[in-house]
């Protein structure tokens, strides 16, 4: 019998049921993915026991020989994957990685210019409820609400806002934006106002690693990411500095070249924002980066984009609004106003059909963030399971059936959802040691 089952049946039951939930349903949360058994194995290893404050070769604890090996593997693989000159794989999460960036480059009260949360930005890009909005003076740019660039960022408006605000740091990156960013233009704007350019590629890192979206590394002074979204690794964060990143001006940076930028960031991670790094997670990141360096990873990311596009087109054909009219990446933002349905209701009805999505604000949303007029749909997780564009058109069809029926079709649709997922098995409960 599995140790967890005999020792702690309550936790065992929940873990078991959660694996069943992941196995049976459609996982369409754009920020989620399914890691491989090898990534899971490293994550569940006794490396969790090890304290290793510091960096490989420069630790504050003994016994770090093997964890040094895995952290070096993670760093080297990440550098190769993104063409980076410097990386730090220790941040516990995307939010922690971003905290280190603020600590390294901003003084309390300094000005930040970032993408508005209600237009697809992230909490850590200056939201008033987050440390970034409480400690720093946050200003925002957004997407256009109408006109030819509806749902997209107009760079002329970003430039005008940057000139008006004169931020110390300009952030680029999003949690709910389906179009690519023009990092070269963002860098020009940052240079015009003497700002640091920070790119948070948390959502799109896997697509960028595969060369399918614009690469921020040559343009940004600093890049942050999570490792668990399109990158398909364990839950965690990472910081990177590009090989070709132009030397930042001494006026905006405490030091003045890519190497010392990395050193500033290393100290901002530890001791600045974390204590001991999570060595089991770092081992697991190394495994995931190894997977991402294989050619199959590029094919996976190509399929992810094709699937998101197929889903968006199928929903457009059924009369749904798709913010910006489509997608360049792994997600699409559906505006439900034409259907007279809120994001909150759609999320709940789809949940009854075992289709997991999240309600999401759409640009110009009249509803509160607890209700919203939209849902965000992502393709990464179901693409990992082997769904192709035809499968995603069927996913769109089932979503429409649930929403158009006001949820009454949810139970019937659930049967079809389970039939489709059964054709693309995910985790083997027995292999995970979770068979009761
Ligand atoms: N940055 C962006 C753009 C994100 O979308 C997210 C998470 O959704 C984060 C940062 C934060 O990552 P974490 O949840 O690991 O703290």
CA-CA distance, 155 to 161, in Å (whole number)?
Answer: 10
CA-CA distance, 362 to 323, in Å (whole number)?
Answer: 7
Q: Which residue has the tokens 């090989």?
A: 243
CA-CA distance, 33 to 385, in Å (whole number)?
Answer: 10
Burial readout 308-345 (b: 16 or more C-beta within 10 A, e: otherwise): bbbbbbbbbeeebbbbbeebbbbbbbbbbbebebbbbb
CA-CA distance, 410 to 142, in Å (whole number)?
Answer: 35
CB-side exposure of 180: number of CA atoms within 13 Å?
16
pLDDT for 257 equals 54
Catalytic residue among 200, 345, 391, 400: 200
pLDDT in tens, the chain (436 residues): 588 999 999 999 999 999 999 999 999 999 999 999 999 999 999 999 999 999 999 999 999 999 999 999 999 999 999 999 999 999 999 999 999 999 999 999 999 999 999 899 999 999 999 999 999 999 999 999 999 999 999 999 999 999 999 999 999 999 999 999 999 999 999 999 999 999 999 999 999 999 999 999 999 999 999 999 999 999 999 999 987 665 554 434 454 455 578 888 999 999 999 999 999 999 999 999 999 999 999 999 999 999 999 999 999 999 999 999 999 999 999 999 999 999 999 999 999 999 999 999 999 999 999 999 999 999 999 999 999 999 999 999 999 999 999 999 999 999 999 999 999 999 999 888 888 7
* DSSP string covering 4-42: HHHH-HHHHHHHHHHHHHHHHSEE--TT-----HHHHHH
200 assigned to active site: yes
Helix 9-24 and helix 410-422, axial crossing angle in degrees, nearest 10: 90
Q: Could you give the C-alpha distances from 380 to 24, 31, 62, 232, 297, in angstroms and in order? A: 16, 8, 40, 8, 12
CA-CA distance, 330 to 206, in Å (whole number)?
Answer: 10
Query: In this predicted complex, what is the ipTM?
Result: 0.99
- The pTM score is 0.96
> What structural domains and CATH numbers belong to the chain?
16-35+295-430 (3.90.1150.10), 50-293 (3.40.640.10)
Residue 135 counted as an annotated binding residue: no
Residue 274: count other Cβ atoms within 10 Å of its Cβ. 18
pLDDT for 264 equals 85
- DSSP code of 373? S
pLDDT for 63 equals 98
Q: Structure tokens of 70?
A: 């895995």
51 assigned to active site: yes
CA distance between the termini of the chain? 8
Listed in sequence order, the residues at least 6 apart from 281 whose beta carbon sits closer than 8 Å to its beta carbon are 43, 92, 234, 235, 236
pLDDT for 178 equals 98
Report whether the peptide linkage leading into residue 318 is cis, meaning its omega lies within 30 degrees of zero: no
Which residues have CB under 6 Å of ligand 1?
31, 93-95, 98, 122, 124, 173-175, 200, 202-203, 226, 237
Residue nearest to atom 5 of ligand 1 (CA): 175
pLDDT for 247 equals 54
CA-CA distance, 95 to 86, in Å (whole number)?
Answer: 19
Catalytic residue among 225, 226, 273, 384: 226
Angle at 184 between CA 180 and CA 190, to 5 degrees: 110
393 assigned to active site: no
Residue to mutate (ligand 1; options 175, 224, 229, 330; most atoms within 8 A of CB):
175
pLDDT for 373 equals 98
- How many residues appear in the chain? 436
Q: Please report which residue ranges of 9-141 form alpha helices under DSSP H.
A: 9-24, 37-43, 65-82, 94-105, 131-135
Q: Which residue has the tokens 């760079």?
A: 155
CA-CA distance, 300 to 68, in Å (whole number)?
Answer: 30
* DSSP string covering 403-425: HHTTTTTHHHHHHHHHHHHHTS-
Contact between residue 143 and residue 155 where contact means Cβ atoms under 8 Å apart: no
pLDDT for 251 equals 37
411 assigned to active site: no
Listed in sequence order, the residues at least 6 apart from 30 whose beta carbon sits closer than 8 Å to its beta carbon are 175, 176, 203, 229, 330, 331, 358, 376, 377, 378, 379, 380
């Amino acid at each position: 019998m599995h140790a967890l089952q005999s020792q702690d049946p309550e936790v065992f039951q929940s873990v078991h049921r959660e694996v069943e939930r992941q196995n049976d349903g459609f996982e369409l949360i754009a920020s989620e993915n399914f890691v491989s058994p090898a990534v899971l194995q490293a994550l569940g290893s006794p490396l969790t026991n090890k304290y290793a404050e510091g960096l490989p070769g420069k630790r504050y604890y003994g016994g770090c020989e093997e964890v040094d090996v895995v952290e070096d593997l993670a760093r080297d693989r990440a550098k190769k994957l993104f063409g980076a000159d410097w990386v730090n794989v220790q941040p516990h999460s995307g939010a922690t990685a971003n905290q280190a960036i603020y600590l390294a480059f901003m003084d309390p009260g300094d000005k930040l210019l970032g993408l508005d949360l209600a237009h697809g930005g992230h909490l850590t890009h200056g939201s008033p409820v987050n440390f970034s909005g409480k400690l720093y003076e946050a200003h925002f740019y957004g997407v256009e609400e109408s006109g030819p660039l509806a749902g997209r960022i107009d760079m002329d408006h970003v430039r005008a806002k940057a000139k008006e605000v004169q931020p110390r740091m300009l952030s680029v990156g999003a949690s709910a934006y389906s179009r690519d960013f023009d990092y070269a233009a963002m860098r020009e704007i940052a240079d015009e106002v003497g700002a640091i350019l920070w790119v948070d590629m948390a959502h799109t890192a896997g697509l960028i690693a595969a060369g399918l979206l614009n690469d921020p590394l040559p343009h940004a002074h600093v890049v942050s990411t999570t490792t668990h979204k399109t990158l398909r690794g364990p839950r965690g964060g990472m910081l990177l500095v590009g090989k070709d990143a132009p030397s930042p001006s001494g006026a905006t940076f405490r030091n003045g070249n890519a190497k010392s930028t990395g050193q500033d960031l290393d100290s901002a991670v530890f001791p600045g924002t974390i204590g001991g790094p999570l060595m089991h997670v770092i081992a697991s990141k190394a495994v995931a980066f190894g997977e991402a360096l294989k050619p199959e990873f590029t094919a996976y990311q190509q399929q992810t984009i094709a699937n998101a596009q197929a889903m968006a087109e199928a929903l457009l054909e059924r009369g749904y609004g798709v913010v910006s009219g489509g997608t360049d990446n792994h997600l699409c933002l559906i505006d439900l106003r034409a259907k007279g349905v809120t994001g909150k209701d759609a999320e709940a009805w789809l949940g009854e059909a075992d289709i997991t999505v999240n309600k999401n604000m759409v640009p110009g949303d009249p509803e509160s963030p607890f209700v919203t007029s939209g849902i965000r749909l992502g393709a990464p997780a179901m693409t990992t399971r082997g769904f192709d564009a035809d499968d995603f058109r069927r996913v769109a069809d089932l979503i429409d059936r649930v929403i158009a029926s006001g949820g009454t079709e949810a139970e019937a649709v659930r049967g079809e959802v389970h039939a489709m997922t059964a054709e693309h098995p995910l985790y083997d409960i027995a292999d995970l040691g979770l068979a009761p």
